[in-house]
Chain A
Amino acid sequence: MDEILSIKNLTKTFDDFVVLDHINMDVKKGEVVVIVGPSGCGKSTFLRCINAFEKIDDGSVLLSGESINPSKGKQNKTREKVGMVFQSYELFPHKTVLQNMILAPMKVKKVKKKDAEKEALVLLERVGLLSKKDSYPHQLSGGQKQRVAIVRALMMNPEVLLLDEITAALDPEMVREVLDVVINLAKEGRTMVIVTHEMLFAKAVADRMIFIDGGRIVEEGDPVSFFENPQTERLKKFLNSFTY
């Protein structure tokens, strides 16, 4: 399998505070990498570096061999290839579900409206929201909004999909419907980098687990050994905080 994302010595500081400290990570095509770690450890910043929302201070991020911290004004080209879904959905409130989905393909990729709509309807059908195509975001539940946000990102057919704590704002019974969508995407071979606090979900979806603490990768491995047999004290302590 080819490496789709290659991160070398990624370093990011805010003033004097080192958020990410020489992070190295490769993601292969079709691989699902799940990142966990305590609050403020730099997980979200890490994702934001991958789609050029944060300027990196040192190191490099390569997407299919191309550097993605390019000169100013070119970030939009990167972001066409890197999809991102946020905790707070960020649907456009003045547009219907369908309009939300077709906006970027039409404006950015110049896809014809008819074709974009056709694709959107197929995706909506797959996540069980076809009947909501003409609803406005405020008419949807949190779980429905997040499913729309995921398929909206898929409309751009990204090479990598970044999911930033997509269930953190949801009621427990809605978490499932969103995570089922993600698990299906994993089965289809989507390349994803996921930040989450849902450990059972992480276990189910991950090809590889990464534990970040204090801006460094403390431990990584396949999900079985990661959860059953953690090697470092810090990861043991972190995983223990999820059991009662």
Chain B
Amino acid sequence: MDLDVLISYFPKYVEAFFLTVRVGVIGIGIAFLMGIISAFIVYFKVPILSFIFSAYIELFRNTPLLVQLFFIYFGLPKLGISISAEVCGVVGIGLLGGSYMAEGFRSGLSAVPGSQNEGALALGMTKSQMFFNVIFPEAFSLSVPAIVANVIFLLKETSVFSAISLMDLMFTAKDLIGLYYNTTEALFLLVVFYVVMILPVSIVGNMVEKRVHYKMFGV
């Protein structure tokens, strides 16, 4: 491995790293919101909306991100809506992630015993007071492992962005390999930057898991 090559590639990777993180973080933020909204609507079986959101969840959970990105990136311009690759990436991660997050929250919600509803209602709470103060916080702690796994999964899924020419880590590596054939150095930096991006998420995720788990069950 050539140190000079690593050093000369480094700035390009840093740039790509921040782009990947920016798109990933915004996309995951949207995914999180979509997940909560979907879970709420499906939990309360809101008429019409719950059908729409169930369809959305199944559609995005059961198709590859690459296909979704192609639809958004190449399909929307045909309808007269053109968006940049970066926005397309954010929307793609947001929608795909939303369907995964919704499933994560749903599994947490179904793990909260139904008798907790009555515990809250018996105190005179309305259904939405019950949901936001009792059921959702409990479901959330139960969902944390699934949510953390989703975040890691979605960050890794950003590597698909290279297919729509978004200058993310994967694209940068492929680009450099194509230009200079320094495969070893380019791939080595690729691995390093992904680990630097995702390892902290894993570590923080584990800490959060332990903390909420303690609060719920004390072990």
Q: Which residues of A contact B (CB under 8 A)?
A: 51, 53, 75-77, 79-84, 86, 88-94, 103-104, 107-109, 136, 138-139, 152-153, 156
Chain B residues whose C-beta falls within 8 Å of the C-beta of A53 in the assembled complex: 118, 121-122
- In the complex, A92→B133 CA distance in Å? 10
A107 lies within 8 A of B129 (CB) = yes
Segment touching A, from B54-62, B95-103, B177-185, B210-218: B210-218
Chain A residues whose C-beta falls within 8 Å of the C-beta of B118 in the assembled complex: 53, 84, 86, 90
Contact of B216 among A79, A93, A156 (CB under 8 A): A93
Q: Is B64 an interface residue (CB 8 A)?
A: no
Give B111-125 as 1s and 0s: 1 = Cβ < 8 Å from A's Cβ atoms: 000011011111111
Contact of A86 among B119, B125, B212 (CB under 8 A): B119
Q: Of B119, B125, B126, B141, which is in contact with the most chain A CB atoms at under 10 Å from its CB?
A: B119
Chain B residues whose C-beta falls within 8 Å of the C-beta of A90 in the assembled complex: 115-116, 118-120, 122
Q: Is B189 an interface residue (CB 8 A)?
A: no
- In the complex, A102→B61 CA distance in Å? 40
Contact of B122 among A77, A84, A91, A93 (CB under 8 A): A84
What number of residue pairs across chains A and B have CB atoms under 8 A from each other? 76
Chain B residues whose C-beta falls within 8 Å of the C-beta of A82 in the assembled complex: 122
B123 lies within 8 A of A94 (CB) = no
Which residue of B has the minimal Cβ distance to A105? B123
- In the complex, A108→B215 CA distance in Å? 25
A91 lies within 8 A of B125 (CB) = no
Q: Is B86 an interface residue (CB 8 A)?
A: no
A76 lies within 8 A of B124 (CB) = yes
B126 lies within 8 A of A94 (CB) = no
Chain A residues whose C-beta falls within 8 Å of the C-beta of B138 in the assembled complex: 92-94
A103 lies within 8 A of B133 (CB) = yes
- In the complex, A109→B129 CA distance in Å? 12
Q: A80-B124, A107-B125, A156-B124 are in contact. Are A92 and B116 (CB under 8 A)?
A: yes
Q: A90-B116, A94-B138 are in contact. Are A83 and B133 (CB under 8 A)?
A: no
Chain A residues whose C-beta falls within 8 Å of the C-beta of B75 in the assembled complex: none
Which residue of B has the minimal Cβ distance to A139? B218
Min CB distance B120 to A, Å, is: 8
16 contacting pairs across A/B (C-beta < 8 A): A75-B121, A79-B122, A79-B124, A81-B124, A86-B122, A90-B116, A91-B119, A92-B138, A93-B217, A94-B141, A107-B129, A108-B124, A108-B126, A138-B216, A138-B218, A139-B218
Min CB distance A97 to B, Å, is: 13
Q: Is B77 an interface residue (CB 8 A)?
A: no
Chain B residues whose C-beta falls within 8 Å of the C-beta of A84 in the assembled complex: 118, 122
Contact of A88 among B115, B123, B125, B218 (CB under 8 A): B115
B141 lies within 8 A of A51 (CB) = no
Q: Is B176 an interface residue (CB 8 A)?
A: no
A153 lies within 8 A of B122 (CB) = yes
Interface residues of B in 176-212 (CB under 8 A from A): 212
Closest 8 CB pairs of A and B: A90-B119, A80-B124, A104-B123, A138-B218, A84-B122, A108-B124, A79-B124, A76-B126
Contact of A79 among B121, B133, B134 (CB under 8 A): B121
Chain A residues whose C-beta falls within 8 Å of the C-beta of B125 in the assembled complex: 76, 104, 107-108
Min CB distance A38 to B, Å, is: 23
Interface residues of B in 133-170 (CB under 8 A from A): 133-134, 137-138, 141
Chain A residues whose C-beta falls within 8 Å of the C-beta of B133 in the assembled complex: 103, 107
B141 lies within 8 A of A153 (CB) = no
- In the complex, A82→B124 CA distance in Å? 8
Min CB distance A148 to B, Å, is: 12
A76 lies within 8 A of B217 (CB) = no
- In the complex, A76→B124 CA distance in Å? 5
Beyond A86-B119, A92-B120, 13 extra complex contacts between A and B, CB < 8 Å? A53-B121, A75-B121, A81-B124, A84-B118, A86-B115, A88-B115, A90-B116, A92-B119, A93-B215, A94-B137, A94-B215, A107-B133, A136-B218
Q: A90-B118, A94-B141 are in contact. Are A136 and B215 (CB under 8 A)?
A: yes
Chain B residues whose C-beta falls within 8 Å of the C-beta of A139 in the assembled complex: 218
- In the complex, A148→B153 CA distance in Å? 42
Chain A residues whose C-beta falls within 8 Å of the C-beta of B121 in the assembled complex: 53, 75-76, 79
